[in-house]
Homo-oligomer: A and B are copies of this chain.
Amino acid sequence: MRLSIIAVIVILNLCFQSVNAQSEQIITEDFKPSSLNQPEKIFPQVNSQRRVRASISATNASKVQLDIGGVKYDMLKDRNGVWTGESNPQDEGFHYYQLNIDGASVPDPGSLYFYGAGRWGSGIEIPSTDQDFFALKDVPHGLVSENIYFSKLTNSFRRCFVYTPDGYSENLKTRYPVLYLQHGSFEDETGWSSQGKANLILDNLIASKNAVPMIIVMDNGYAFKSENKEVKDPSKQRESIFEDVLIKEVVPMIDAKFRTIAKREGRAIAGLSMGANQTMRIMMNHLDTFSYYGGFSGTANYPSSDAIDVSSFLNGKYKGGNALNKQIKLFWLGLGTKEPAPFPKSVGAFRNMLEQQGIKYQYYESPETAHEWLTWRRCLKEFASKLFK
Contacts and interface: CB of A to CB of B under 8 A. Distances in A.
Given A119-B38, A157-B136, A257-B169, A107 B104 contact: no
A102 to B, nearest CB: 4
A150 interface: yes
Contacts of A172: 172
A151 to B, nearest CB: 11
A312 interface: no
Nearest to A59: B103
A60 B233 contact: no
Contacts of A105: 57, 109
Contacts of A256: 170
Nearest to A169: B257
A40 B118 contact: yes
Interface string A156-175: 01000010000001101000
Copies of this protein in the complex? 2
Size bracket of the A interface: 35 or more
B113 A119 contact: no
A219 to B, nearest CB: 15
A146 B149 contact: no
Given A146-B144, A148-B141, A102 B60 contact: yes
A143 B162 CA distance: 10
Interface string A21-40: 00000000000000000111
6 contacts: A40-B118, A57-B105, A59-B103, A64-B104, A141-B147, A141-B148
Which 8 A-B residue pairs are closest in the complex by CB-CB distance? A59-B103, A58-B104, A61-B102, A60-B102, A145-B145, A143-B145, A106-B106, A60-B103
Interface of A: 38-40, 56-64, 81, 99, 101-107, 109, 112-113, 118-121, 136, 138, 141, 143-150, 157, 162, 169-170, 172, 188, 193, 199, 232-234, 256-258
Given A39-B234, A40-B232, A104-B106, 5 more contacts: A107-B113, A109-B119, A112-B120, A136-B157, A141-B149
